[in-house]
Structure 1
Amino acid sequence: MTAPSHTDRARSFNAAAAQYAANRPSYPPALFDTIEELAGRPFTGARVVDVGAGTGIGTALLRGRGADVLAVEPGDGMAAQFRLNHPDIPIVRGNGNALPLATASVDFVTYAQAWHWTDPTHSAPEALRVLRPGGALALWWNTTPLDIPWHIAQAQRIERSFGNHPVVEQNGSGARAALTDPTGRLDFTRRKVRWSRRVPLDTHLANLGSHSIFLVHGTEASTAFLAEEKQHLLAAFPDGTIEETYDVDLLVATTS
């Protein structure tokens, strides 16, 4: 089988938007505290554009912090799910490589799990263009820490069947790409924020299945893998409740 392209994987979420919205993990309050600390300003009253907003998991949390937030999302399915979940939050179609925003018009540009889908030779200058002086670019990813035995075992099983674990694959890769800033004007500070959530086994499996590496390999292969994975997890978690642990990999840069 030909390896799925980057574009195929980026577009794969549109058909699974409802699954994504219902099962993907959120982000902890400590993440937004840390962004405010590094940016030197609060979200309250700030003009924020959340790029690659998806179904609005991060966008809604930014709104909850008091931000005046606008979502930007390229995908049909994801944008439709966003509007269903968050009818009171404005959303426009577009992507980080060509932001549909005026120059020097926002205080924060944020990317939750989305920067790696952009081309930084375009998205980095675009972020700088739309930010006001003293504004901040914040990028973050939920990544799976490989110091927890069951996470290690699952990652190995996924790699044998499909390639790198979809969340492990992001461990450091998105941040490394951002740190090779093509503009030379982004001085990022990097932090890790660990958190966890307890979810039913079926929620964990649906979360896993909503990642692009499963979506692009087709229903038959993914269903077979997840059925087998359920048995492995029941052996490790007999009560059927999974504790997923995440390290949020955060990068923040401010403009002068």
Structure 2
Amino acid sequence: MTSSTPRALSFDSAAAQYAAARPGYPPALLDTVEELAGRPLSGARTVDVGAGTGIATRLLHARGALVTAVEPGPGMAGELHRSLPSVPVVRGDGNRLPLATASAELITYAQSWHWTDPALALPEARRVLRPGGALALWWNVSDDSVRWIADQDTRLRRHLGADDSAHGTPADSRNLSQLSGGEFAQRLLPWSRTVPVGTHLANLASHSAFLVLGAAGEEPTRRFMEEERRHLAAVFPDGMVEERYVVELAVLIP
């Protein structure tokens, strides 16, 4: 994550769960980043900001990108370093990147741009990018055109509050309107994964909406997850949940 706010740093308490349960991204995502950025990832000096446990960092590294991860949370950064010891991890904030001017060809924010103040983060990205470099932002958002996902979203909002969910960041919270002053493109990339029901529930529980509840929320969360397991059993009697997502990608070449 990128911000030092309590909600952003709440992930530190569940770093291992986050790494084990959160979804990755389809191969088409990085293909599309290359297309829109106009350069291959292999050999590109890349900064993954708000890298968390390294879910996106790992994929960028596997493509041959020369990645530096930026992450403020000590628990998340530690989990990332354990799984990717060869990748540099810098403790820092997306609003104040601890990186040299014109030192990167690509800056990525996977699930993390909404934790920044764009009035600070966008100028910082422009400072750190080399001429012709690209800023890529993306989110996994649950596909609520699928009936069971829409039903689950309703239950989540009833439990957490009407403006909150664990299905993805609301579009109006992503601050994309400030991405101007260059070439800008967006893409939607649908994909899915099939996981045991326990992994699906652990994924839900790893979202900040649950984590910020802390000790006071442990018993209500346990009851909610037990009820959710029963709902899922009716839809997926074999215990394997097909999670459907749409990756929302935005790329800016300032």
TM-score surpassing 0.5? yes
Pairing of 1:9-20 with structure 2 (within 5 A):
9-20=7-18
CA deviation digits over 1:28-68, x for unaligned, max 9? Answer: 11000001000110000100000000000000000011100
How far did residue 222 of structure 1 move? 1.4
Q: Matches of 2:97 and 2:68 in 1, distance apart?
A: 12
Which among 108, 111, 130 is matched to residue 110 of structure 1?
Answer: 108
Aligned equivalents of 2:8, 2:172: Cα separation in 1: 16
TM-score in terms of structure 1 length: 0.93
Aligned 1:48-197 pairs, distance under 5 A: 48-163=46-161, 164-168=164-168, 170-175=169-174, 177-181=175-179, 184-197=180-193
**Cα drift, residue 75 of structure 1:** 0.4
Letter in 2 for 1:126: E
Aligned mate of 1:207, from 189, 203, 212: 203
Distance 1:212 1:186 in 2: 33
Residues 172 and 249 in structure 1, CA contact (< 8 A), matched pair in contact too: no
Query: Is the deviation greater in 55-64 or in 210-219?
Result: 210-219
Distance in 1 between the 2:143 and 2:105 partners? 31
2:39 corresponds to which letter in structure 1? R
- Could you tell me which runs of 5 or more consecutive residues in structure 1 were left unpaired when the two chains were aligned: 1-5
Take 2:82 and 2:205, find their aligned partners in 1: how far apart are those partners? 22
Question: Larger deviation: 216-225 or 56-65?
Answer: 216-225
Query: Any conservation in 2 of the 1:179–1:188 contact (CA below 8 Å)?
Result: no
The alpha carbon displacement at 1:174 in A equals: 4.6
Aligned to 1:225: 224
2:176 is matched by which residue type in structure 1? A
Q: Which deviates further from its counterpart, 215-224 or 92-101?
A: 215-224
Q: 1:3 — aligned with what?
A: none
Greater Cα offset, 198-207 or 8-17: 8-17
CA-to-aligned-CA distance 1:174-233 (integer Å, 9 cap, x gap):
54x12233xx42442110001000000000000010000011123222111111100110
* d(CA) in 1 for partners of 2:240, 2:203: 14
In 1, Cα distance between equivalents of 2:188 and 2:173: 13
Amino acid at match of 1:222: T
Query: Does the 8 Å CA contact 1:13/1:210 hold for their aligned counterparts?
Result: yes
Identity of aligned residues (%): 56
Matched residue, 2:250: 251
Q: Name segments (4+ residues, structure 1) moved above 4 Å.
A: none
TM-score scaled by structure 2?
0.94
SS of 2:248's partner is strand
1:21 aligns with 2:19: yes
The SS at the match of 1:188 is strand
Per-residue CA deviations over 1:3-23 (Å, capped at 9, x if unaligned) read xxx922211100000000000
Unaligned runs of 5+ in 2: none
Paired residue secondary structure (2:79): helix
Measured against aligned partners, the alpha-carbon deviations of 1:60-114 in whole angstroms (never above 9, x if no partner) come to 0000111000000000110111111111111010011010111111000000000
Task: Work out the number of aligned pairs and report it.
Answer: 246
